[in-house]
Amino acid sequence: MKAVQLKEFGGPEQLFIGDWETPTPKANEILVKVHASALNRADTLQRMGRYPAPKGDSPILGLEMAGEVAAVGSEVSLWKVGDKVCSLLGGGGYAEFAVTHEAMALPIPSGWTFAEAAAIPEVFLTAFQALVWLGKLQEGERILIHAGASGVGTAAIQLAKLIGASSIVTASAGKHALCLDLGAEHAIDYKSEDFAEAVNDHTKGKGVNMVLDFLAAPYFQRNLNSLSVDGRLVILALMGGIKTEEVNMAPILRKRLQIIGSTLRSRTLDYKIALTKALKERTWDAFEQGQLKPVVDSVFSWEKVADAHRYMEANKNKGKIILDLG
C-alpha cells in the first residue's frame, strides 16, 4: 500500500507518499480501506520528532480515519467486509489501509461522507473524555473552552450544549461566528482582551465551573482565577508553554479546585474501548439527528498533505482539516 512517510523529522516538506507494508489484522482487529483521514495537532508534533507513537502503534501519522472494512480477523463478530466505519487510531491513519480493534470502530451515521466521519473520532472522544469523564460537567453549569474553534474546541462546544451546560470560548476574532453558531453563549478575543477579566464581566463575578485548556503556563493563573467554587481545570495540551514563574495557589484551596491533566493517546486500549462505547451510547443518536455535527474546515487531497500541515500550523482552520484518500 501507499502511506505518508517522513524523510526525516522536521517541517511539512519532509512528508512524502511511498510504499509501506499493508498491516495484517490480528484476531480481534479489522482492516479498513481508508477513504479519509484527518489532521490533529499531535501529527505536527510527531512530524517534528516531539511526540513519538506509543509502543506497538503504527509509526505512520494519523490518529483517525473513515473507510470500508476490507478484511476481518478470525475472532471479529461486530463487522463484516464492506461495512463503513470510522475509528480513533494509535497511528497509521495517513495510509491506504489501517487496522483497528473491532470495538474501537464506530458505524458511520447514515448519509455521511467519509470526510465528515473522519472528523469525529479524535476530537469528540477527547472532548467527551474531558467534559464528561474528567471534568464531570453538569447540566446548568458553565464552561470556559479555550481555542474554541479548534477541532477539539468545536466538539466541546457542541457536547456542552448537549449536556445542557453553557459555554464561553476564547478564539481569534474571525472564528467567533462559528463558535457562537455551534452553541457558545459568548466568545472572547483573547488577543485584544484579558480573558479572565472578560469571564468575570460576563459571569458578573461568578466565574465558570470548568475550564478546558490547551495553553497551560501563560493561562494557568487566569484559569484558576476564572473558576468558581469546586471548579475543575482540565489541561489537555501545552501549546503556550510549560513553565510559569509565579503562581498564587490560594484559589486552589479557597475554591476547592481540581486540576486534571490527560492525554488520550497514552491511555490503554481497554480505556479507549470503554470511552468509545460511552461516546457512542451518549451521542450517536444526536449525530444521526443532526444535533451534533462534524465541523469540516477543509478537505485536502492526501497528495497535498504538506500543504494541509502548513495550513494547520498557520492556525487558519476552524474545525477539522481532512485528508481525502480517494
Ligand X SMILES: NC(=O)c1ccc[n+]([C@@H]2O[C@H](COP(=O)([O-])OP(=O)(O)OC[C@H]3O[C@@H](n4cnc5c(N)ncnc54)[C@H](OP(=O)(O)O)[C@@H]3O)[C@@H](O)[C@H]2O)c1
- How far is 189 from 172, CA to CA, in rounded Å? 5
Q: Which residue stretch of 18-26, 133-141, 226-234, 259-267 sits at the interface with ligand X (rule: CB under 6 A)?
A: 259-267
Q: Which helix (H) or strand (E) holds 306?
A: helix 305-313
- Tell me, rounded to whole angstroms, the distance of Cα 181 from its chain centroid: 19
CB–CB of 60/94 below 8 Å?
A: yes
**Min. distance of Cβ 70 from ligand X in angstroms?**
27
Of 131, 237, 257, 305, the residue at the interface with ligand X (CB under 6 A) is 237
* DSSP character string of 279-301: HHHHHHHHHHTTSS---EEEEEE
| Region from 28-36, 102-110, 143-151, 223-231 binding ligand X, contact rule CB under 6 A | 143-151
If the CB atoms of residues 1 and 45 are measured against ligand X, the closer one turns out to be: 45
The C-alpha angle 39, 212, 55, rounded to 5 degrees, equals 50
Subset of residues 153 to 192 that bind ligand X, contact rule: CB under 6 A? 171-172, 175
Largest separation between any pair of C-alpha atoms in the chain? 60
Minimum distance from CB of 318 to ligand X (Å)?
A: 8
Of 50, 129, 45, 56, which Cα lies nearest the Cα of 91? 56
* CB 208, min distance to ligand X, A: 18
Output 91 or 151, the one with its CB closest to ligand X.
151
Q: Which range of residues in 23-31, 34-42, 111-119, 274-282 is near ligand X by CB under 6 A? A: 34-42
Task: For the CB of residue 177, give the shortest distance to ligand X in the complex, in Å.
Answer: 12
Count of all residues that appear for the chain in the document = 326
Determine the 3-state secondary structure of 122 from DSSP. Answer: helix
Residue 290 Cβ, how far from ligand X at the closest point, in Å? Answer: 22
Residues 6+ apart with CB under 8 A from 231: 207, 208, 209, 210, 211, 255, 257, 258
Residue of 34, 123, 165, 224 interacting with ligand X (CB under 6 A): 123
Q: What angle do CA 202, 133, 315 make, to 5 degrees?
A: 55
CB of residue 228 vs ligand X: minimum separation in angstroms?
Answer: 24
Nearer to ligand X, 207 or 319 (CB): 319
Q: Does 298 contact ligand X by CB under 6 A?
A: no
CA distance 96 to 67: 10
Q: Which is nearer to ligand X, 54 or 164 (CB)?
A: 54
306 binds ligand X (CB under 6 A): no
Rank residues 20 and 214 by Cβ distance to ligand X and give the closer one: 214
Chain positions contacting ligand X, by CB under 6 A:
40-42, 122-123, 126, 147, 149-152, 171-172, 175, 214-215, 236-237, 239-240, 262-264, 312, 315, 317
